[in-house]
Structure 1
Amino acid sequence: MKTKLNVQLEFPTPFTYKVLGLAQQELVDRIVEVVQHHVPGDYLPNIKSSSKGNYYSVSITIHATHIEQIETLYEELGKIDIVRMVL
């Protein structure tokens, strides 16, 4: 994935991902696992449930040091089978 974020961001910088997926506790655990694999640290994601309770919106912020880190996480988070979208 090629983006123009490297022009728009100055590193290091905080960067927040919003991950939308099926409403399962496993979703949050798998998101944190992927993020910790690439950017070790303690994370407390913000979780919101959809109005019907079928989906979760999980926001998680990392301290990004380079654009490749951001792009890799977009790709890896999108590979989680119960994820529907990564913003």
Structure 2
Amino acid sequence: MSQQAEQKPLIEFPTDFNLKIMGAQHPDFASEILKAIQQHAPNTTEQHIKLRPSSGGNFVGATVTVHAQSQEHLDNIYRSVTSHPMVKVVF
């Protein structure tokens, strides 16, 4: 038997993928995040975003469902979101 086992990809594409995004509370947070995502996934709309404020009200969490075609596509979306100045962290 070979020492190298064939590895399956962790995610099978295309797929709907939930990005968990946290940022500072701001009235434009959702629209700004959507713009960043739409650079790579133009079919993502406001209906794909679910917002929830933090318990202290200083931050907002967003779950955005994106339709990723490949790992590279998902990586490009992730890079676009993580580089946005309103974003603190992306899961």
TM > 0.5: yes
Structure 1's consecutive aligned runs of 4 or more residues displaced over 2 angstroms after TM superposition are none
Please, which runs of 5 or more residues in structure 1 have no aligned partner?
1-5
Gap runs ≥5 in structure 2: 1-7
TM-score (norm 2): 0.84
Correspondences of 1:10-49 after superposition (within 5 Å): 10-43=12-45, 44=47, 45-49=49-53
The sequence identity of aligned pairs, in percent, is 27
Counterpart position of 1:71: 75
How far has the Cα of 1:74 moved from its partner?
A: 1.3
Aligned residues: 82
User: Equivalent residue of 2:84, what SS?
Assistant: coil
Which of these two proteins has the greater Rg computed from alpha carbons? 2
Compute the RMSD of aligned alpha carbons. Answer: 1.3
Give the alignment's TM-score, normalised by structure 1: 0.87
- Write the distance in 1 (CA, Å) between the matches of 2:15 and 2:44: 17
How far apart are residue 42 of structure 1 and its match? 4.3
